[in-house]
Chains A and B, each alone.
Chain A
Amino acid sequence: MQALIVSNVLLWLLLIATSVVLLGLIRQIGVLHSRIAPAGALMLDKGVEVGQPAPQVTAADRFGRPINIGYAGERSTLLFFLSPTCPICKTLLPAIKAISRSAKDLDVIYVSDGDAAEHDKLISQAGLEKSTYIVSPDVGMTYQIGKLPYAVLIDKAGTLKAKGLVNSREHLDSLFETELLGASTLQDYIKAQSEAPGIHTPS
């Protein structure tokens, strides 16, 4: 009788554990689905080409301090163009913050324009009080940003290393990947691969 009771209790506990694992698995599938959501149609890019010197522009951040963009310096720069009215921009903010924390020698600059009150709300919601946040149409016009959320990576020498529409963490990471692989676009990378068959490791 004792053995039966112990076995019964143990089986129940194991069944609960199995249900928890199952729930966790299904949740992960849901998260995966949201991560591979459609990324938006590709578009012809305007503005400066990747690999060229980035346009130099100076704009004031929300405290009025002048911020230089596109100049050679000691650190690389990631420009993140966003708008308080764009929901995907908001979902990307945690990823941008994580990159800004983990990447050394990288300044993250948030760029937007529009109503200051809405920006203040977004900044307090996302906890961006200490970040460099520019509210000015100048930067977006200089870089000819047509769609949001958009990111531009500029290296220490002031060269535009990568840019593109970013709809997910994967897109953001791919900006940094281009610097690692030494190819500015996927097309360039595939071309380089086909010219040098057998080499698959990024240098």
Chain B
Amino acid sequence: MIDPIISTSAALALSVIFASAASHKIRHPGWFRRQVSEYELMPGVMVPTAALMLPATELAVATGLLWSTSRPYAGVLAFLLISLYALAIAINLARGRKDIDCGCSGPAMRQPLQPALLARNGLLAIIALGALLPMLERPMGLLDNFVIIAAGTVLVLLYTTTDLWIANRPLLLKLSGEK
């Protein structure tokens, strides 16, 4: 049992993160189809279906997290999706394919696969667990709602920052000639 502030702010942040991820994939369907096939995890015939299903699931998760009744299901789905992405990245890292694009943040921000992305997904999974856990019942005041929104905003901002930070890392390594 955890306090509703923790669970609700985590769900709010996760919802925004998933909605933004889905929007990249829906706005550039051709790019995402190429991205899915580049990961080389499934036979070619399944790629168009998967490229449609993934953003649809993300959108469903983003919407489901907003209501407390559907939150546990959406939370489980979010956790599974995050683990699935982490697994896909881990398999390709193990194959040594570090040069393919991650496809994490839309076509505008390309970044190669790197172990740091697994850590990022680990953090996302922790947020998903936070949204999943059962809530304590207690009356919510104005200040509680303020804290939920503020904490959600900070989480989203920090996530975006971390994402950019990870994306900048290979560029820096390239500059100093270590890669």
Contact = CB atoms under 8 A, between A and B. Distances in A.
A15 B150 contact: yes
Contacts of A23: 157, 160-161, 164
Interface size, B (range): 10 to 19
A30 interface: yes
A22 B175 contact: no
Interface stretch (A5-13, A58-66, A156-164, A172-180): A5-13
A15 B154 contact: yes
A1 to B, nearest CB: 11
B158 A26 contact: no
Given A16-B153, A16-B154, A26 B161 contact: yes
Contacts of A22: 157-158, 161
A19 B154 contact: yes
Given A8-B143, A33-B175, A16 B168 contact: no
Size range of the interface on A?
A: 10 to 19
A36 B154 CA distance: 31
A126 to B, nearest CB: 18
A41 to B, nearest CB: 16
Contacts of A15: 150, 154
Interface string B124-157: 0000000000000000000100110011011001
Contacts of B175: 33, 36
A30 B153 contact: no
A8 B146 CA distance: 10
A38 to B, nearest CB: 9
Contacts of B153: 16, 19
A20 B168 contact: no
Interface of B: 109, 143, 146-147, 150-151, 153-154, 157-158, 160-161, 164-165, 167-168, 171-172, 175
